[in-house]
Amino acid sequence: MQATEIKTATGKYSKIITDEDFTKFQNYFSEQKVIVIIDENIFDLYPFFRKFNCIKICADEKNKTLKTVENIISQLIELQADRSTFIAGVGGGITCDIAGFTASIYMRGLRFGFVSTSLLSQVDASIGGKNGVNFDRFKNMIGTFNQPEFVICDTNMLATLPQNEFIGGLSEIIKIALIKDSEMFDFIECNTDVILKRNKTILQKLIAKSIQHKADIVNSDEFEKGARRILNFGHTLAHAIERNSDISHGFAVSIGIMFAAKISKHFNLISNDDVVRIKNLLSNLGLPLHTDINDEILFRTIIADKKKSDDEINFVLIKETGKPFEKNIKISDFKYLISIFK
């Protein structure tokens, strides 16, 4: 068991525990009354959780809505949840987002924590206190910053993760490596085969490193006013792809990473050899590199994104592996870049 702490400037505290048996999650809170908001697939796979009051949800992007939150709140009322109730979100990124958001607004806020069951959630989505839902298919348009008290990441649970979801989670690990850790990128390059075989030792190392890097960033910038923006690397295009297709978040991020790498080369921040390395790594892990979605559709979605300010878009690039670079790109220029690089 290894613990990483997030303690922000506002005093909010979160503990991320890696390689911990998920059945020990009750050790991290003292409340007698706990209600579990759980992915219905996890509920079927792990009978352990059936001893608790559970609210099951269908964890996909189409259900990540205020309507789902309203349904959960109705069930919380039926279960007589009050301010002494602890909410445990059990599932992947979508489940944790919904559970954290619901806990943050019910009765003006309940304590909550997560058992994170997917790779993407363990390395990114459940870490850092962002909770929210989509609106009219705009990603995470409604939400809060509120830290879970704990996040348990049991790598044994990844054994039941479908292969596409596992591969999709690797894109967030690659993202972290590209913006924070060149040695980690080299390590992934040299270990693609064993990573795809879900070698537990290797995964634990990559998950722990990813969590530590993200925790360091969140500790310095909880509300995404500065340093935390680098975590958006690959995500501007990714969110537009998700809104206009059924492509999963992890796969969309892979395409977004490739797009950002090409633009980094366009601005002479990285070499063509760097672009080829990134392309080969994504491809070797089974991740996609491009999208066929219409340029105009992507552009119109992106200019409605939270990252747009006036006539510019804040876009995260890299100037070498492990070193991010933020650039404000004129909207008119960005439209051209989509047309030649996406």
Domain that holds residue 137: 2-160
Sheet containing strand 312-320, strands side by side: 308-309, 312-320, 323-330
Residues 208, 318 share a domain: yes
Close Cβ partners of 276 (under 8 Å, ≥ 6 residues apart): none
pLDDT exceeds cutoff 70 at 194: yes
Number of domains in the chain: 2
Residues 134, 65 share a domain: yes
Q: Does 256 reside within a domain?
A: yes
Q: Does 234 reside within a domain?
A: yes
- Of 126, 160, 194, the one marking the end of a domain is 160
Residues 206, 127 share a domain: no
Residues 67, 97 share a domain: yes
Do 99 and 228 form a contact (C-beta atoms < 8 A)? Answer: no
Residues 245, 184 share a domain: yes
Q: What is the C-alpha end-to-end distance of the chain, expressed in Å?
A: 41
Distances (CA, A) of 162 to 62, 120, 166, 177, 198: 19, 12, 6, 24, 12
Residues 233, 144 share a domain: no
Q: Does 165 reside within a domain?
A: no
Residues 92, 47 share a domain: yes
Q: Find the CATH number of the domain harbouring 20.
A: 3.40.50.1970
Q: Would you name the residues annotated as active-site residues? A: 108, 130, 172, 214, 224, 228, 232, 235, 239, 249
Report the predicted TM-score, pTM, of the whole model to 2 decimal places.
0.93
As a whole number of angstroms, the distance between CA 77 and CA 331 comes to 46
Residues 311, 181 share a domain: yes
The two structure tokens encoding residue 213 = 């890097």
Close Cβ partners of 187 (under 8 Å, ≥ 6 residues apart): 206
The two structure tokens encoding residue 176 = 């972290």
Mean pLDDT of all residues in 139-155: 93
Q: Find the CATH number of the domain harbouring 183.
A: 1.20.1090.10
Residues 230, 334 share a domain: yes
Q: Does 293 reside within a domain?
A: yes
Strands 308-309 and 130-135: unpaired
Residues 245, 123 share a domain: no
Q: What is the per-residue pLDDT across 215-258, written as a single tens digit (0 to 9) for each? A: 999 998 888 888 899 999 999 999 999 999 999 999 999 999 99
- Of 160, 179, 203, the one marking the end of a domain is 160
Q: What is the per-residue pLDDT across 41-90, written as a single tens digit (0 to 9) for each? A: 999 999 999 999 999 999 999 999 999 999 999 999 999 999 999 999 99
As a whole number of angstroms, the distance between CA 43 and CA 33 comes to 19
Q: Does 299 reside within a domain?
A: yes
- Of 137, 160, 183, the one marking the end of a domain is 160
Residues 110, 186 share a domain: no
- Strand partners of residue 4: 16
268-227-322-125 Cα dihedral, nearest 10 degrees: -120
